[in-house]
Structure 1
Amino acid sequence: MSVPSRLFSQGLQIRQSSLPPAFLLPSLFTSSFSTSSPLSARRDGNPNRGVSALRRTGLRRRQTLSVKPEDLPRPVTDSKERSEIDVDPNHGLWGFFNRERFPFATPEYDNSHGRAWTVQELRGKDFEDLHKLWWVCVRERNRLSTESYERGKAKAGYGEYEAGAREEEVKHTQKAIKHVLTERWYAWEDARMLAESDPSVNLYPKSGEPSYSATESAFEEYTEPEQIQSAQQDSQVPSSEAQSQVVPEQIKTQQETRV
């Protein structure tokens, strides 16, 4: 036997001795338990994939547009050739502009304002008037804020002081409205607590039941204490009945413009 054949037989014997038995071969192979699809290039059929106006990528190759450059409308730069648009002069949105309807008002316009409403004046207003006055103040502050922004963009350099003084008066009016509403809320809360302790008042009546059942004590005549009667006789102060019959004189008040 030659040397190469001897080496081949020896190598074959070594290989057969290193291999496991045939019945153990299935245990040497592992199967994949992943159900996900293999990784591949993303293809969703979007023709605009990769086109970005922010990154200035431009159009893709062989990409066409639905509009041709010849079909695009050309802007009219000459104001005389533009078509006029009918605008309602009494539209409600004009309330967000000044009287001259300019982008921002002049300092003379913002400076021509009155004082703020006081708490004493607002106490005589009903809820509907207070509601209207509140939203008038909101609209005025909206106008001042918008004009302040436009004034800053135009770098006008004027009007900030006058607009700020006008807005302060509007804020004082809004604070007075809140003060009056807070007073009314506390008065209502006190009345509610008093009604809960009153047996003649039913705050939660059912259908057909009266909310108030008057008692005999409610119709009793009121008599003033002896101390008050003696003090009225000494100082000659008229009684409450006499005071109610006196008609107050008419007081002339100056009409003042308010915000």
Structure 2
Amino acid sequence: MNFLSKYTTCLSAAKSTQTPLRRGLEEFFERGLALPKEHTVTGRAWRAAELRLKSFDDLHKLWYLNLKERNLLSTQKAEAKRHGIQPTAFTNKSRVIKCKKNMARILFVLNERRIQFELAQQALKSQPALSTLPESVKSEIEPASIQNNPL
């Protein structure tokens, strides 16, 4: 079995899957219904440790997925209220809480990254330039591979 063959099958399977194309107001309704009859089973909220492993693009996508989910749930809540359905009979409170937790944790992780980036910039600015250091100090800082292989 070729090393790449298992990855090619995964890629071809991923290309063949399709998501329903919904536009405009349809995105505010779950399965095309203003008030779905059956309860939707959902997973847990993302943990901050899991989100720290995600790229900025993935966090950006997750943010907007959660925002769309919150909008969908707000639409369902407004529809239930408009139809006079009691909040106890029709509630997605756990899903709303998960969305809010996800969004708060994404902001927390992004803020952690921003703080670390600012600290790294400050540390870089406070370090003296290598050109102003004596040769004895340069040899300790620079790895041997850089010293032996001038460009």
TM-score, normalised on structure 1?
0.41
Instruction: Give the equivalent residue in structure 1 for 2:27.
Output: 95
Aligned match for 2:69, one of 131, 136, 140: 140
**Which residues of structure 1 form unaligned runs of 5+?**
1-88, 202-214, 222-259
2:38 is aligned with 1:115 = no
Instruction: Give the equivalent residue in structure 1 for 2:111.
Output: 182
CA distance, structure 1, for counterparts of residue 27 and residue 141 of structure 2: 53
Identify the structure with the greater helix proportion: 2
Whether contact under 8 Å (1:123, 1:180) holds in the other structure is: yes
How big is the shift at 1:108?
A: 1.1
Whether contact under 8 Å (1:106, 1:159) holds in the other structure is: no
Whether contact under 8 Å (1:107, 1:159) holds in the other structure is: no
Higher RCO (CA-CA < 8 Å; seq separation 6+): 2
CA distance, structure 2, for counterparts of residue 144 and residue 104 of structure 1: 10
CA-based RMSD: 1.9
2:90 is aligned with 1:159 = yes
- Secondary structure of 2:68's counterpart equals helix
How big is the shift at 1:199?
A: 2.5
How big is the shift at 1:120?
A: 0.4
Deviations 1:50-72 (A, max 9, x none): xxxxxxxxxxxxxxxxxxxxxxx
2:141 is aligned with 1:218 = yes
Q: CA 1:174–1:150 in 2, change beyond 3 Å: closer, same or farther?
A: same
CA distance, structure 1, for counterparts of residue 81 and residue 35 of structure 2: 10
CA distance, structure 1, for counterparts of residue 38 and residue 53 of structure 2: 33
CA distance, structure 1, for counterparts of residue 108 and residue 38 of structure 2: 31
CA distance, structure 2, for counterparts of residue 166 and residue 107 of structure 1: 14
Matches within 5 A, 1:5-16: none
How big is the shift at 1:156?
A: 2.3
Instruction: Give the equivalent residue in structure 2 for 1:199.
Output: 128
Whether contact under 8 Å (1:137, 1:174) holds in the other structure is: yes
How big is the shift at 1:107?
A: 5.1
TM-score, normalised on structure 2?
0.69
How big is the shift at 1:220?
A: 4.7
How big is the shift at 1:105?
A: 2.4
CA distance, structure 1, for counterparts of residue 93 and residue 55 of structure 2: 29
Deviations 1:189-223 (A, max 9, x none): 1101101112238xxxxxxxxxxxxx5432257xx
Misfit runs of 4+, over 4 Å:
none
**Aligned residues between the structures:** 115
CA distance, structure 2, for counterparts of residue 188 and residue 118 of structure 1: 22
* 2:28 counterpart letter in structure 1: F
